[in-house]
Amino acid sequence: MQKAIYCFLLLVLFSCSKKEIVENKKTTEKQPNPYYEKAFVFLDKNESDSAFYYLNKGRELFLKRNDSFGLGKSFVNMAIIQESEGDNFGSIETSLQAREFFDENNIAHFEILFCNYNNLGVASNNLKNYKDAKRFYDKALLFTKDPIDKMALANNIAIVYHNEKRYDKAVRIYEKLIDSVGSKSEFYPKLLLNYTRSKWFENPNYNPVKNYLHAEKLSDSIDDDWTRDASYAYLAAFFLDKKTDSAKLFAEKMLSLAKDLKYPVDQLEALQNLIRLSDGPHSQKYFDEYSRIQDSLMNAQNKAKNQFALIRFESEEAKAENLNLQKEKSVNEIKMLRQKIISWSVSLIAIAFGFLAFLWIRRKRKRMVIEANKRLQEQRLDLSKKVHDVVANGIYEVMSTIENQNDIPKEKILDKLELMYEKSRNLSYDNPLQQEFNERISGLISSFDNGKTKFIIIGNDPDFWLGINQFSQDELFQIIRELLVNMKKHSQATQVILRFIKENNSHEIKYFDNGIGLSESFVEKNGFSNMRSRLKEINGEFEIEGSLNGLKLSIKL
């Protein structure tokens, strides 16, 4: 049972959010960011998707202002929302992005750095990556002198020790915390619950009931429903195999309070105990309710994850469109400025000088046209030679085979034709006329777009391909084409997502389609074997991450 522990983690995150609101009011008076401020209005209403949306809009405005600190704040709060909605992997990714915008030597950045590292610890703990969780909590400790922050971090570290089953270490931390806050503190009931639970796990003969009931009574007196909910859960867990009636009583109290709190995770835990403790129709009723809440919770979490990803994707897409519009606007402005300069020059410069300038410009343009035509002619000759070598020789080979072999199998002819087709198709990608490699990839993907399959490309920009040599680029080009050919032939997909991720010196290409996936009896044949062979040549690896509902795989260098 994790409720009391999780409740205290929420306290830490809530305090971070409050600091952000205060910090926001201090630093944005001169130049406010309305999107960023509006996000906290929705956050107070527990409308996390709208809060995430406006944080992302605020991030874009901070980017336009070259406000790196504002960018980092937006990312941290987005990461906290992702963790609270169960998107732990996405939360870690966003928090790691945020680190790039902070100066760990700048005291003004310490509060938000504390929140960011604490969030990384919480998300890592949720994923049972306890080693990283402790590392991030230790890092967070460097950026706070606030005694409440330090207490929260100590509690979180004790949680990690408890999850690692190192109960003695957790108990020692809780003992120090309880001594430091005293029994009159608002945090005392939470710490007492966590301490008692770890103590019971350390020593099964220890009776935790007295402390549980005391914490429940204290939390009721200060109107702390979350801690009271946790005490019911701990009591139900303790009596589960000892006193059925008591266990059922506290499970029912937990279910009722969790419904008031609108917290489905604890509703599921309470129902799970009630299913076990009830007989006949009551058990079936609890089971039906459990199934309904579980389905609803999973759908809500999946919806939130998809919504966060979609908001980020649409933002990047809009950003790309804006950049293109800005580029076009700049080009038009340059053209207009050039026209004005020419016009002013004609009116101010003497006729003779203007005439000489005109002759010089014309001579230069003529030379450039001659050089361009020369290069174009060389490219045409090169392409003509390749067409002759590949297409003409290939056709001649097939003709000779048919003419000289009377009983040649149909499949062999088709294999030769297919090979010739592949070689001739490759010619379209040779000599790209100085085309950027990311544009070649985009062109390749676009060639498979027939209107029935929607393609989403994320991260395919020139920076991704920096550091990848020409040979590796060519191999990756062939691998992506093989993936798209297989998709077109077999998957029946209506949507394909290709995501290009670059972190430090590592490159990763993630592929996903919503097609029929791979059967359980699937055996890798030529397509996948060829891809693995090509990746081996460039020190890459290939992993199928999911194959039941569509195909999901990863290519790493």
Using pLDDT thresholds of 50, 70 and 90, give the confidence band for residue 220. confident
Instruction: Read off the tokens for 448.
Output: 């498979």
Greater confidence (31 vs 322) lies with: 31
| Range of weakest confidence among 237-241, 375-379, 539-543 | 375-379
Burial (CB count <10 Å: 0-12, 13-18, 19+), residue 259: middle
Burial (CB count <10 Å: 0-12, 13-18, 19+), residue 554: middle
DSSP character for 406? T
pLDDT of 36 = 92
Instruction: Read off the tokens for 137.
Output: 């909590």
What residues contact 308, with CB distance under 8 A and at least 6 apart? 49, 52, 78, 81, 82, 85, 87, 90
pLDDT of 142 = 93
pLDDT of 288 = 81
Per-residue pLDDT reduced to its tens digit, 239-293:
888 888 888 898 888 888 888 888 788 888 888 888 888 887 878 888 887 888 8
Choices 3.30.565.10, 1.10.287.610, 3.60.15.10, 3.40.50.1820: CATH for 436-556: 3.30.565.10
Which of 312, 302, 314, 310 shows the shortest CA–CA distance to 87? 302
The C-alpha atoms of residue 28 and residue 34 are separated, in whole angstroms, by 10
Phi, psi of 54 (to 5 degrees): -75, -30
Kindly state which CATH superfamily the domain 1-143 is placed in. Answer: Tetratricopeptide repeat domain (1.25.40.10)
pLDDT of 23 = 46
pLDDT of 4 = 35
Q: In the predicted model, is pLDDT for residue 499 greater than 90? A: yes
Greater confidence (16 vs 163) lies with: 163
pLDDT of 294 = 80
Q: Does the pTM of the predicted model rise above 0.95?
A: no
Percentage of the chain modeled with pLDDT above 70: 77
Per-residue pLDDT reduced to its tens digit, 512-521:
999 888 877 7
Length of the chain: 557
User: Do residues 160 and 13 make contact, with C-beta atoms less than 8 angstroms apart?
Assistant: no
pLDDT of 434 = 47
- Give the number of other Cβ atoms within 10 Å of residue 429's Cβ: 15
Starting at the earlier edge strand, list the strands of the sheet with 506-513. 454-458, 495-503, 506-513, 551-556, 541-546
**Can you tell me the mean pLDDT for 506-535?**
83
Which position has the token pair 């297409």?
391
Per-residue pLDDT reduced to its tens digit, 187-205:
999 999 999 999 999 999 9
DSSP character for 143? T
Using pLDDT thresholds of 50, 70 and 90, give the confidence band for residue 458. very high
Give the start-to-end residue ranges of the domains of the chain: 1-143, 366-428, 436-556
Phi, psi of 464 (to 5 degrees): -60, -35
Using pLDDT thresholds of 50, 70 and 90, give the confidence band for residue 158. very high
The C-alpha atoms of residue 143 and residue 157 are separated, in whole angstroms, by 16
pLDDT of 155 = 93
**Can you tell me the mean pLDDT for 141-158?**
92
Q: In the predicted model, is pLDDT for residue 18 greater than 50? A: no
Greater confidence (28 vs 243) lies with: 243
Which of 444, 437, 491 shows the shortest CA–CA distance to 465? 437
pLDDT of 119 = 94
pLDDT of 47 = 84
pLDDT of 134 = 93
pLDDT of 305 = 59
Helices 68-84 and 3-27: crossing angle in degrees, nearest 10, is 160
Q: In the predicted model, is pLDDT for residue 503 greater than 80? A: yes
What is the separation of C-alpha 210 from the centre of its chain, rounded to a whole number of angstroms?
A: 45
Per-residue pLDDT reduced to its tens digit, 62-118:
988 899 999 999 999 999 998 888 889 989 999 999 999 999 999 999 999 999 999
The C-alpha atoms of residue 510 and residue 353 are separated, in whole angstroms, by 60
User: Do residues 308 and 54 make contact, with C-beta atoms less than 8 angstroms apart?
Assistant: no
Greater confidence (529 vs 205) lies with: 205
| Range of weakest confidence among 130-134, 159-163, 509-513, 524-528 | 524-528
The C-alpha atoms of residue 340 and residue 266 are separated, in whole angstroms, by 71
Percentages helix, strand, coil for the chain (3-state, rounded to 5) are 75, 5, 20
Per-residue pLDDT reduced to its tens digit, 389-434:
456 555 745 665 575 456 667 666 765 676 666 666 666 555 444 4
* The amino acid at 213: L
305-315 b/e (C-beta count within 10 Å ≥ 16 → b): bebbbebbeee
pLDDT of 423 = 63
Greater confidence (326 vs 545) lies with: 545
Greater confidence (336 vs 155) lies with: 155
Tell me the pLDDT of the chain averaged across its residues. Answer: 80
**Can you tell me the mean pLDDT for 223-237?**
88
User: Do residues 541 and 465 make contact, with C-beta atoms less than 8 angstroms apart?
Assistant: no
What residues contact 432, with CB distance under 8 A and at least 6 apart? 440
Greater confidence (527 vs 317) lies with: 527
The C-alpha atoms of residue 80 and residue 62 are separated, in whole angstroms, by 19
Residue 21 Cα distances to 28, 37, 113, angstroms: 11, 8, 15
* The amino acid at 4: A
The C-alpha atoms of residue 161 and residue 81 are separated, in whole angstroms, by 25
User: Do residues 43 and 114 make contact, with C-beta atoms less than 8 angstroms apart?
Assistant: no
SS3 label, residue 457 = strand
